[in-house]
Structure 1
Amino acid sequence: MKFEKEEDRLNFVIELLNHPELLQEVRVQEWLAESRNKELYEECRRYLEGGLRLAVGDQLDVEGEYWNFTRKMKSGGRSRRMTWLSVAAAVVILISASWWLLENSLSSKKQEVIPVAEHIAPGRNQAVLITESGEELVLGASGSESRELGEGVSVEYDSLRGINYKLTERAVVSYHTLRVPKGAEYKLTLNDGTIVWLNSESELRYPTSFAGESREVFLKGEGYFSVAHDEQHPFIVVSSDIYTKVYGTEFNVRSYEEEDVHVTLVQGRVSVKKTEDGSEYTLNPGENARFVESVPEITKVNVNRYIAWKDGYFYYENESLESIMDDLKRWYGFDVVYVGNKARDYRFELWASRDSEISVITDLLMKTNRVGIKVNGKTLVVSEVIR
């Protein structure tokens, strides 16, 4: 097979990636035996693996493309956001030396796979607020309300602004717990002005008003904190016996059961320690502290891996499929079964909107021709592709 135009050669590769069964044909195997054709195929396959733009001949810039996309999305309102989200995990290929978006991305070309069940849907804004007396207030994905919860303590909440506290002089301080289930997220503004984003399967216990020398809260799961500055009253997050102390900064704490604890600093400065009486270790912006033992492993990281969820994205660089699936199943509420031992260890680069249907993400993973994903009710069956 010969193509007169480079565009035709590229379209043929796109066809192969969308219909991997064509790889079994002799004519296709002969075409891929030519080094330049094989190189183009592998470049496009790697692009699909990341769901990112790939400039032919240029190096894949995962971080740069992520920030380009988020800047464009944040520059407009809801309608513009949804326009960009519609191509968040789609394939955009460069045909010339300049950046040109194809009007019809590869996401419109459906691969013939078993359809994903409709009830596996993206997560939403949802939580349960529990008072010290045990009263529970279900916070749904829509609507706006104001409730009085205890003497002099009232909360306003809606799906966009989350929870905001208002206290009068006669307010009696008590502890509240915000619990976010699987397949949900929620935002909370504490009485001191600190904003907390809670990820799926997470819980935060906090006082309705801070008193004393420090501002202390207790986290299970994952939370992103934008702390109101107060030099005289440090803000302390206690999670799995890890103490993170700040005076005013932005950072992420990830502390799920059966996982190592990660504290990631975005800006400002924090100190971390194992147990209340342990030695303190200072983090600088862009550093991550991973706790396995009492002494943390502190490394320079791409913070997007740890904070993209707060801005509405999944973001992974050289991440194992099992780790990716662990995050996806928290957000979409499904279970995962692996067939064989290899697939869970395959590593991928991927970014996609958390508003995407799960089929968009599974299609991207399958288009790499490395894994197969089938649906059985609310369970994804993941297997390696035998070549």
Structure 2
Amino acid sequence: MRENYEYDMFENYSEVVMLLVKVRQQNLTEEEEEKVRSWREESPENEVLYAKVMSVEFMKMKMAQRACTDSERAYAKVKRRAQRRVRVRRFCYLSSAVASVFLLLGGWFYFDRMELSGLERLNAASEIIAEGSKAELILSSGECVMLGKGQLDSVWMHEGMEVHSTEGRVSYTGERLCREKCDTEELQYNILRVPRGGEYSVVLGDGTSVCLNSESELRYPVQFDRGERRVFLRGEGYFEVAKDPEHPFVVEVEDAKIEVLGTIFNVSGYAEEERVVTTLVEGVVRLSSDNESVLLEPNEQGVLDKDGHLSKVEVNVFPYVAWQKGLFVFRQQSLERVMQVVSRWYDVKVVFKDEETKRISFTGNMRRYGNFEQVVRMLEMTGGLNFNIEGRTIYITEK
């Protein structure tokens, strides 16, 4: 259940609304751009509100309402309400804010300027969505079980374990009863494979939870033995490791090895990125290569590069774990890096018309579960970019 929070519905509410109007008109000064950026970063609710106001759905709704909108009456009514300090749940705050901005914006002054080609482009982008929960589970027998949205909950026995499958998660139980048996038998492995445009979670037999990002896979024993708990990752995963000091948990990814006892961390090791990045949220982990190792503490990040060099730095962990909270969070990332992450999630191909465009720096938050239109809208505004969409291929140029 979400907690209660107390909000000022903006000390100068009308300024926020007018800034959003100017965003839609692409008529912000540098100072105003910074104000909008700061407001968006204050809370996830502000970012969701921003995305709604910038969406194609909002545009269509306001076009339908333009004939009957009384902006002055709406402005006066909402302004009175906004100046009251109220205690609300997060979702109540968001609903009120969205409704208020919808009324205040009116819409006619922007849509009269909207070019038809731009609307068609955004419509094309709005049709590109990520499928979300989908994966394939490859059993030790070689059998492949397809997992995804709309599936019925199911339970079956496999290698002495009870396997529970629900939408978005597969889990194993019975591990404690199997350890003695496993000591005398060869470990049997399952593979959870997540394609581009998907994500999925698995709860291992020891209670460890792993959330896999798009284009990732985890190979793991159906039952752990009495020794270490070792799994093998390709791509990106968010781990919440069950505490068991007598049985260390080890993650192998590319040329790196991560050793933990019980902790929360994110690790990204996509082959095409040629590095392994481990970001520690809680606990302690040791990141090792063939030649050296580093010990990580909370809010530290270890990087193993393609040359085998290990380094660590202090970081704000949120941008690196926000993906499994439903957000993309970028801080001074190159456009090439941004689109690498986004294209993997939306399962699209990105083509840059020149190398300079790849190096444009971007900072901002985006809803992970929105459609691709929100990405186009935000990047075109902040980066001075043009997107040409042909099916699932995106061509990017500077304006």
How does the TM-score come out when normalised to structure 2? 0.74
Once the two structures are TM-superposed, the CA of residue 201 in structure 1 deviates from its matched residue by: 0.2
Q: CA deviation at 1:88?
A: 6.0
Give the SS at the match of 2:328. strand
Q: Does 1:291 align with 2:299?
A: no
Q: Which residues in structure 2 correspond to 1:305-316 (within 5 Å)?
A: 305-316=319-330
Deviation by residue 1:77-120 (Cα, 9 ceiling, x = unmatched): xxxxxxx885263569xx99999946226798776421325541
1:76 aligned residue? none
3-state SS in 1 of match to 2:101: coil
Quote the offset at 1:146 in angstroms.
2.5
The CA distance in 1 between the partners of 2:17 and 2:158, in whole Å, is 64
Residues 8/233 of structure 1: CA separation in 2 closer, same or farther (3 Å cut) = closer
Q: 2:254 aligns with which of 232, 240, 245?
A: 240
Alignment-mate amino acid for residue 167 of structure 1: G
Match of 1:209 in 2: 223
Task: Confirm or deny that 1:364 pairs with 2:378.
Answer: yes
8 Å CA contact 1:126, 1:141 repeated in 2: yes
1:53 aligned residue (39, 44, 48): 39
Q: Does structure 2 retain, via aligned residues, the 8 Å contact 1:117–1:378?
A: no
Question: Following the alignment from structure 2 to structure 1, what is the Cα–Cα distance between the partners of residues 340 and 35?
Answer: 23
Structure 1 residue matching 2:154: 3-state secondary structure: strand
Task: Look up the match of 1:150.
Answer: 158
Shifted more, 367-376 versus 303-312: the winner is 367-376
Does the 8 A contact of 1:146 with 1:154 survive in 2?
Answer: no
1:345–1:266 Cα change, 3 Å: same
Does the aligned pair in 2 maintain the 1:131–1:149 contact within 8 Å?
A: no
Who is 1:17 aligned against? 23
Output the amino acid matched with 1:87.
Answer: L
Equivalent residues of 1:53, 1:91 under 8 A apart = no
What one-letter code is carried by the residue in structure 1 that aligns with 2:254? S
Q: Distance in 2 between matches of 1:85 and 1:152?
A: 46
Alignment of 1:89 with 2:75, yes or no, is no
Contact 1:88 1:352 in 2 (8 A): no
Following TM superposition, by how much is the alpha carbon of 1:122 offset from its aligned partner in structure 2, in angstroms? 2.3
Partner letter of residue 266 of structure 1? V
1:373 Cα offset (Å): 1.3
1:269 to 284, 287, 296: 284
Alignment partners' CA distance in 2, 1:223 and 1:166? 21
Q: Which moved more, 1:151-160 or 1:229-238?
A: 151-160
**Structure 1 residues 151-160 or 342-351, which shifts more?**
151-160
Give the secondary structure class of the aligned counterpart of 1:104. helix
Give the Cα–Cα distance (whole angstroms) in 2 for the partners of residues 344 and 98 of structure 1. 45
Cα pair distance change 1:107/1:375, threshold 3 Å: farther
* Whole-angstrom distance in 2 between the partners of 1:13 and 1:300: 35
Q: Matches of 2:20 and 2:159 in 1, distance apart?
A: 64
Shift of 1:222: 0.1
Q: What is the deviation of 1:357?
A: 1.3
Question: Secondary structure of 1:116's partner?
Answer: helix
Q: Give 1:303 deviation, angstroms.
A: 0.8
Q: CA deviation at 1:226?
A: 0.2
Give the Cα–Cα distance (whole angstroms) in 1 for the partners of residues 395 and 101 of structure 2.
30
Shift of 1:254: 0.1
Which secondary structure state, in structure 2, belongs to the residue aligned with residue 187 of structure 1?
strand
What code does the residue aligned with 1:309 have? W
Name the CA distance, whole Å, in 2 between partners of 1:366 and 1:267: 37
Aligned residues: 331
The alpha-carbon deviation at position 166 of structure 1 amounts to 2.7
Higher relative contact order (CA 8 A, sep 6+): 1
Determine helix, strand or coil for the equivalent of 1:121.
Answer: coil
Q: Is the 8 A contact 1:290 1:297 kept in 2?
A: yes
Task: Point out the more displaced range, 335-344 or 184-193.
Answer: 335-344
1:333-364 deviation digits (Å, cap 9, x = unpaired): 11111122222111111111111111012101
- Cα distance change of structure 1 residues 97 and 205 upon mapping to structure 2, 3 Å threshold: same
Determine the structure 1 residue equivalent to 2:5: none
Could you tell me which residue of structure 2 aligns to residue 104 of structure 1? 101
The structure-2 alpha-carbon separation of the partners of 1:16 and 1:340, relative to structure 1 and needing over 3 Å to count, comes to farther
Instruction: Give the percent of matched residue pairs that are identical in Structure 1 and Structure 2.
Output: 32
Q: 1:209 to 1:313 in 2, by over 3 A?
A: same
Name the CA distance, whole Å, in 2 between partners of 1:322 and 1:307. Answer: 20
Q: Which amino acid aligns with 2:282?
A: Q
Q: Is the 8 A contact 1:305 1:315 kept in 2?
A: yes
Kindly indicate whether the alpha-carbon contact (under 8 Å) linking 1:206 and 1:216 is maintained by their aligned counterparts in 2.
yes
8 Å contact 2:277–2:304 — kept in the other structure? yes
Do residues 164 (structure 1) and 175 (structure 2) align?
no
* Equivalences for residues 65-144 of structure 1 within 5 A: 65=42, 68-69=43-44, 87=49, 89-90=51-52, 101=97, 103-104=100-101, 112=115, 113=118, 114=121, 115-117=123-125, 119-144=127-152
2:31 is aligned to 43
In structure 2, distance between residues paired with 1:232 and 1:142: 40
- How far residue 251 of structure 1 moved from its aligned partner, in angstroms, is 0.3
TM-score of the two chains, using structure 1 as the length reference: 0.77
User: Quick one: structure 1 residues 9 and 226, their matched pair in 2 at CA, closer, same or farther if it must change by over 3 Å?
Assistant: closer
User: What does residue 226 of structure 1 align with?
Assistant: 240
1:356 aligned counterpart, secondary structure: coil
Residue 328 of structure 2 contacts residue 367 of structure 2 at CA under 8 Å; is this kept in 1?
Answer: yes
Structure 2 residue runs without a partner (length 5+): 1-11, 55-78, 86-92
Change (3 A) 1:133 1:9: closer
Aligned to 2:204: 190
